């Protein structure tokens, strides 16, 4: 399925599926995984056969616990030349505007939020837990918690960042505050993520990518810019992706 050593990767029916595959170290990322994600995101960005992406993880215990503290990663000696892991791991930082569905189970901690913070749809299993151990280990929780504060209420983001290993957020709490949009049994998680991704991939790709880009770009705009700039995305995407709407099959919708 994959030529990578830290993940499994494959494309079927316009859906790219990435499976974190270091369960023996709780799917933590090392430099090898960072490099492979950089390559994967470049592929997903330019390959037109990819219209949606699923990110999930192997093993029973964890989605990911962040950086591998034993293997570590490359750090440039000059701090002003150093790269943050998000430059490799984040789809939006790699200009991937194809919708990303994250399927979280078990522990999701620390650097794993790089993925969640740039996902478009996050679902989780009933036993999933979310926490950030940085402060317990005497480290500043910065980029992960700042990104998280854009997704959930500030007080919730601060509580995760400040309390370290003293607390874990349950799947039920994550659903209540909007960190995840759906919670399912563990044995249904991967199938549900695939169903959602296939629904996204079935839609006109330019409409989907333009929508993702407009929403994410708008998060950093002033209210005035947010009223003006996204208009250009419709002018680009709508004209380039015009369809005979009379031939578009209406899906069988569901209530959630």
Strand partners, 129: 107, 170
Superfamily of 7-201 according to CATH: 2-enoyl-CoA Hydratase; Chain A, domain 1 (3.90.226.10)
pLDDT of residue 230: 80
Would the pLDDT of 80 be above 80?
no
Q: How many residues does the chain have?
A: 256
Q: 152-168: b or e for each residue (b if 16 or more CB lie within 10 Å)?
A: beeebbeebbebbeeeb
- Evaluate whether 14 touches 201 at the Cβ level (below 8 Å): yes
Would the pLDDT of 150 be above 60?
yes
Q: Calculate the CA dihedral of residues 80, 84, 90, 95 and round it to 10 degrees.
A: 10
Would the pLDDT of 88 be above 50?
yes
| Interval 125-148: pLDDT, tens | 999 999 999 999 999 999 999 999
Average pLDDT, the chain: 91
Higher pLDDT, 225 or 107: 107
Tokens describing residue 206: 């330019």
| Interval 21-71: pLDDT, tens | 999 999 999 999 999 999 999 999 999 999 999 999 999 999 999 998 776
* Helix/strand/coil (H/E/C) assignment for every residue in the chain: CCCCCCEEEEEECCEEEEEECCHHHCCCECHHHHHHHHHHHHHHHHCCCCCEEEEEECCCCEEECCECCCCCCCCCCCCCCCCCCHHHHCCHHHCCCCCEEEEECEEEEHHHHHHHHCCCEEEEECCCEEECCCHHHCCCCCHHHHHHCCCCCHHHHHHHHHHHHHCCEEHHHHHHCCCCCEEECHHHHHHHHHHHHHHHHCCCHHHHHHHHHHHHHHCCCCHHHHHHHHHHHHHHHHHHCCCCHHHCCCCCCCCC
Q: How confident is the model at residue 240 (pLDDT cuts 50, 70, 90)?
A: low
Predicted structure pTM score: 0.92
């Amino acid at each position: 399925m994959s030529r990578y050593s830290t993940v499994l990767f494959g494309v079927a029916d316009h859906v790219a599926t990435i499976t974190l595959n270091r369960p023996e170290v709780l799917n933590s990322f090392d430099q090898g995984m960072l490099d492979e994600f950089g390559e994967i995101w470049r592929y997903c960005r330019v390959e037109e056969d990819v219209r949606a992406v699923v990110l999930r993880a192997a093993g029973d215990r964890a989605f990911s616990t962040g950086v591998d503290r034993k293997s570590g990663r490359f750090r440039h000696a000059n701090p002003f030349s150093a790269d943050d892991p998000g430059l490799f791991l984040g789809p939006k930082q790699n200009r991937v505007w194809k919708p990303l569905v994250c399927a979280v189970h078990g522990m999701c901690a620390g650097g794993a939020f790089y993925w969640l913070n740039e996902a478009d749809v996050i679902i989780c299993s009933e036993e999933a837990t979310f926490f950030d151990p940085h402060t317990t280990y005497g480290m500043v929780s910065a980029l992960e918690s700042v990104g998280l504060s854009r997704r959930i209420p500030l007080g919730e983001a601060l509580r995760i960042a400040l309390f370290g290993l003293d607390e874990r957020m349950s799947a039920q709490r994550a659903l209540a505050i909007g960190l995840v949009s759906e919670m399912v049994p563990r044995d249904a998680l991967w199938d549900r993520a695939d169903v959602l991704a296939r629904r996204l991939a079935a839609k006109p790709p330019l409409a989907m990518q333009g929508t993702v880009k407009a929403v994410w770009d708008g998060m950093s705009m002033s209210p005035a810019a947010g009223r003006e700039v996204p208009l250009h995305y419709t002018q680009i995407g709508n004209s380039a992706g015009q369809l005979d709407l009379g031939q578009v099959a209406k899906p069988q919708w569901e209530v959630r």
